[in-house]
Structure 1
Amino acid sequence: MRVYGTKIKSDIDFPLDLSHETEIRYEVTLSSDIPCDIKNMITCGLPLYWAHGRHVYLYSDREFEGSHAGQPWCYEVEDVVRFYWVGGERTIYYEMGEKGDANLLGFWFIHLFLPLYMTLEDMYDFFHAGAVEVEGKPIFFIAPSMGGKSTMTDYFIKQGHRLISDDKVPTFIDDGSFMAVGSHPYHRPYRKFEELGYRVEKFTTHFKPIHAFYVLEGMEGDAEITIEEVKGIEKFALLLPSYLYMFSYLKPRRLKYLSGISNSIRVFRVHVPWNRERLGEVHDKIVAHSKLSAL
């Protein structure tokens, strides 16, 4: 399968349709054949977060202050699965928990584990955003939790726009351009626990320069729909909360990366009425604006 611009060679069949032939930057192997020495090297850990009704933990052989070549790691999803890997290597090992199955393994591996792994392995920088193509150009929807980015992404998909990502967008720099990478061709508009949602037919297949960020700001249902450009330090401040996995050891490098994005990609604030019946108006306004801003 291909997800996040990465070819995954696996010894388990996922009950998912990931058949899109997308561009590839990396190759990773997923295996159940866990070397004993990895487990024996793990000595400490910490609670990472609570997600989808389960506790998630991160373990290693040292206090968490960075990611180094040869460092052993374990990502545990309570009762479902443990993923092991060694820093700098491209093989991930899995061990099913008592409640684990192929469906749960697929969800946790694709939706939550891989973005963290790819961050720790310095493969991508991720944004918590919805992203689609407008006339072949990637635009990102940024908003706080429950701020409407999933609803907006869903509406754009249903109007025929290509999906890039509905939640976690990988990015990288190529010859000075900040590139968007497709995550996977599934969309979760209603955020049910432990499922990827429905499969979309139109999914991006190539890495493309990010065109613009649209920051969604909810307004009264009868409010005017407006789009205004954000400039200066406010651009940075609006994008920062959507930059995933701001670990302390990564902070200097990531602030530099975000500064580069702020200096090269335009950011717009969209006043969006809290009224689903007006989504068509918002869509048309953003599409027209995106076309004009490309000129």
Structure 2
Amino acid sequence: MAEQVLYGVPVRTGFELFAAASAMAGFTEQAPLQLRELPAQQPLPTLPETFSLYHAHNRDLSLQSDRALAHSVAGQSWRMDVNDVVSFHWRGGDNLVHYQCHALGTQERLVFWFVHIFLPLYLTLERGHDFLHAAAVEVASRPVLFVAPSTGGKSTLADYFLQQGHPLLSDDKVATVMHGGQYYAVPSHPHHRPWREYEVLGDRVQNFATRARPIHAVYLLEQGEPDAEIAITEVTGFRKFEELIPNYLYSFRFLQEQRMRWLAQLADSIPVYRVHRPWNLERMDAVYRALRDHAAGVGEGCASGPLRGQTGSSGPE
């Protein structure tokens, strides 16, 4: 049985999900998750409570349970459906997940939906992970997060950092975990998708982060005119919380209170900066240098105030 670490959790499958990256460390003592196929002749349960998740990658997603949607309890039956492609079923408190492919199900699509969508949902419901819609890279071995709406340029910026030799931590969904009083960013999977195509994990990444580390800083990306000045300013107070809320994934109503408390604590403990940058690929290097140097100075007494313009030497630190 193959085993890979995804979002800090060992995942065991009957086939290799993708070519393994450098050995990645699990986060603390996470119990392994097993993924097994359910034979076609064995029907999946139809559950009475249905919740429409959202429309993604040209597919409708839904979540079902055998009771009103609330905190997962031991033995609770759950099912997630990707229309015409695949269904996943598990029971609360169990580390075994069954899947069953449908008419349009292929192994490539199974891997995509399991890794990119199902696992974050499962880990949110069952293991207390929290996910931000962000891209993340390492600067001097410290995770920095880029937050922006879809098509807001976070993956393009992360790709440029990757080209300059910085390890990628996550392309789209950043798993965060509290440990020892600090908020950690956990590596996702070694793929990067600076372009948009349905139901594919993306290009294979060799320089991928191998362990969870405390989050160093969060950068909120804003678009400017092509000739705009680069400006990095700190976000303070309640505005940090307000800026991060829209980028929180899987904010189910029954999780809302504890998730808002978690997000408020994260915002209170991690520096957040607004980045006004030119919407101009020809100036990407200047944006990269400004962000790289700013991130290197966070916590060193020189990055709390506004930064404007562009800065010096190239290459990761």
Superposition TM-score, scaled by structure 2 size: 0.89
Q: Distance in 2 between matches of 1:37 and 1:188?
A: 36
2:204 matches 1:202: no
Partner of 2:306: none
Instruction: Please say if 1:161 is aligned against 2:157.
Output: no
Q: How high is the sequence identity, in percent, across the aligned residues?
A: 44
AA of the residue aligned to 1:183: S
**What is the alpha-carbon distance in structure 1 between the residues aligned to residue 80 and residue 112 of structure 2?**
14
Contact 1:55–1:78 (CA under 8 A) maintained in structure 2: yes
Partner of 1:221: 226
Determine if contact 2:69/2:254 at 8 Å carries over to the other structure.
Answer: no
- The secondary structure found in structure 2 opposite 1:145 is coil
Give 1:4's aligned residue: 7
| Structure 1 contact 2–19 (Cα < 8 Å) conserved | no
What is the CA-CA distance between 1:38 and the residue it aligns to? 9.1
Q: CA offsets, 1:242-282, max 9 Å, x none?
A: 11111111111011111111111000011111100001000
Letter in 1 for 2:22: H
**1:119 is the counterpart of 2:129:** no
1:246-261 correspondence runs (5 A): 246-261=251-266
Segments of 4+ moved more than 4 angstroms: none
Question: SS of the counterpart of 2:127?
Answer: coil
CA contact (8 A) 1:138 1:212 kept: yes
Corresponding residue number in structure 2 for 1:109: 114
Task: Find the counterpart in structure 2 of residue 45 from structure 1.
Answer: 50
| Shift in alpha-carbon separation, 1:92–1:7, aligned structure 2, 3 A | same
Q: Which residue of 2 aligns with 1:265?
A: 270
Distance 1:230 1:128 in 2: 18
Contact kept in structure 2, 1:38 and 1:84, CA below 8 Å: no
| CA root-mean-square deviation | 1.7
Q: CA-to-partner distance for each residue in 1:82-101, whole Å, 9 max, x for gaps?
A: 10000111111011111111
Amino acid at match of 1:13: E
Q: Does 1:134 align with 2:139?
A: yes
Which residue identity lines up with residue 90 of structure 1 in the other structure? N
Query: What is the one-letter code of the residue matched to 1:139?
Result: V
Q: Answer yes or no: is the 8 Å Cα contact 2:89–2:97 preserved in 1.
A: yes
Gaps of 5+ in 1: none
Question: What amino acid does structure 2 have at the position aligned with 1:2?
Answer: V
Count of residues in correspondence between the two structures: 294
The corresponding residue for 1:73 is 78
CA distance in 1, matches of 2:49, 2:290: 51
CA contact (8 A) 2:21 2:206 kept: no
Aligned residue type for 1:197: G
Q: CA deviation at 1:70?
A: 1.3
Change (3 A) 1:96 1:38: closer
Q: Deviations over 1:63-114 (max 9, x none)?
A: 3233222110111111111100001111110111111111000000000110
2:236 paired with 1:239: no
2: CA distance, partners of 1:94 / 1:40: 12
- Equivalent residue, structure 1, for 2:26: 24
- Letter in structure 2 aligned against 1:123: G
Q: 2:287 & 2:142 partners in 1: Cα distance?
A: 18
Kept in 2, the 8 Å contact 1:128–1:169? The answer is yes
Query: Quick one: distance in 1 between partners of 2:112 and 2:91?
Result: 22
Contact kept, 8 Å, 2:21 with 2:208, in 1: the verdict is no
DSSP-derived class of the 1:113 partner: helix
Query: 2:254 corresponds to which letter in structure 1?
Result: Y
Q: Which 10-residue stretch deviates more, 120-129 or 172-181?
A: 120-129
What does residue 146 of structure 1 align with? 151
In structure 2, C-alpha distance between the alignment counterparts of 1:117 and 1:138, rounded to whole Å:
24
1:41·1:72 contact (CA, 8 Å) conserved in 2? no
CA pair 62-110 structure 1, distance change in 2 beyond 3 A: same
1:215 maps to amino acid: L
Offset of residue 147 of structure 1: 1.2
Question: Cα distance, 1:285 vs. partner?
Answer: 0.3
